[in-house]
Amino acid sequence: MATVTEYLSQIKDLTIVPPVLISILSLEDDNELGFGELEKKVQSDQVLVARLLKLANSPFFSRGNPIANMKQVITRLGFKTVRSMVAMSMTDSLFSQGNYKKFRDEVWDHSIARGILSQFLCEEKKMRKEAELSLTCGLMQDLGKIVLNTIDRTKYIELLTEYQTTDKLLSELEKSAFGVDSIEMGVEAAKLWKLPTPIIDAIADKAKPPNEQSTIGQILGFGGTLAKLTNHGKKDLDTDSNFAAYQDIFALDKEAAPPITEVYSAKLSSNELYQFCSTL
């Protein structure tokens, strides 16, 4: 069975993660240089430009003033929102490798829900610094699954099917099939492609229990667990206990009415970014 090093040698020359996505994720926060670079990179993808123009001119954002170019789009939607949408659009292609609906439904939908639900928590807790980071990290936290699926799509879909139909943990099935789980694979692949450090750390956090994770790891853990409880990804044996742990960490009201799962599920379904993903 191949080692992590051997797997890395297989993928090092593959453009699994588009270079433009890496550069966009690495852009400095809202400043003149970053604004200009984002505009330049988005302009290179006419399909993406069309999607962003459509959203910016939707009733939710337009306020009756039509716009026709990317500079206006970024001004209207905001640097961080546009960067997040670009990341969503580009990561969509990563989860479509091999056109396996099962992989896309299980991994892509869960990743999107995790990122957006994590943002909701950040907004509720006034954690502005972590809000956008939680979305981009949420999108990339399952990079290892994409890598293993790329290395052997048939094998990965077989183990994903077994995961969905049994009580076995996905990490155990991955190790049995590949000799490595997707978290370790994701960390090493992220380092290979020089992804931003916060993304690498967020992937590594997935292997830790809630009380040992970093702040962003706990935010994503909460978002990912809540996603599973709202039918975005399979619910595992430890989902309920993890959710209870995150409720304690973030001092959430366990007796709230309606339950937090219902509140966040409704917010997700009406979220403009989530709706944007349905157009991809």
pLDDT per position as a tens digit, 4-27: 888 888 887 766 677 777 777 777
Cα-based angle 262, 263, 269 (whole degrees, multiple of 5): 85
**What is the pLDDT, as a whole number, of residue 224?**
96
* Mean pLDDT confidence for 68-96: 76
- pLDDT score of 100 more than 80: no
Average pLDDT, integer, range 272-278: 78
As to burial, measured by CB atoms within 10 angstroms (0-12 exposed, 13-18 middle, 19+ buried), residue 212 is exposed
Higher pLDDT, 68 or 95: 68
Whole-number pLDDT of residue 218: 96
- From the number of C-beta atoms within 10 Å of its C-beta (0-12, 13-18, 19+), residue 261 rates as middle
In this prediction, residue 251 has a pLDDT band, given cuts at 50, 70 and 90, of very high
What confidence tens digit (pLDDT) does each residue in 29-64 have?
656 667 788 888 788 777 778 878 887 787 766 667
Q: Is the pLDDT of residue 175 over 60?
A: yes
pLDDT of residue 94: 66
**Which sequence spans correspond to the domains of the chain?**
4-16+100-277
pLDDT score of 227: 95
CATH architecture of 4-16+100-277: Orthogonal Bundle (1.10)
What span, in angstroms and rounded, lies between the C-alpha atoms of 271 and 36? 27
Residue 108 burial (C-beta neighbours within 10 Å; 0-12, 13-18, 19+): buried
**pTM of this structure:** 0.84
Percentage with pLDDT > 90 across the chain: 39
What pLDDT band is residue 150 in, cutting at 50, 70 and 90?
A: confident
Q: Looking at residue 204, what is its pLDDT?
A: 97
What is the structure's pLDDT at 203? Answer: 96
CA distance 51 to 72: 14
Segment 160-166 shows an average pLDDT of 91
Provide the pLDDT confidence category of residue 28 given band limits of 50, 70 and 90.
low
Tell me the three state secondary structure of residue 246. helix
**How much is the pLDDT for 92?**
67
- Range in 71-75, 92-96, 142-146, 247-251 with the lowest mean pLDDT: 92-96
Contacts of 165 (CB under 8 A, 6+ apart): none
pLDDT at 30: 59
For 104-141, write each residue's pLDDT tens digit.
Answer: 777 888 998 999 999 999 988 888 878 878 888 888 89
Q: Is 247's pLDDT higher than 90?
A: yes
Mean residue pLDDT of the chain comes to 85
Geometric angle at alpha carbon 247, from 187 and 164, rounded to 5°: 55
CA 255 to chain centroid: 29
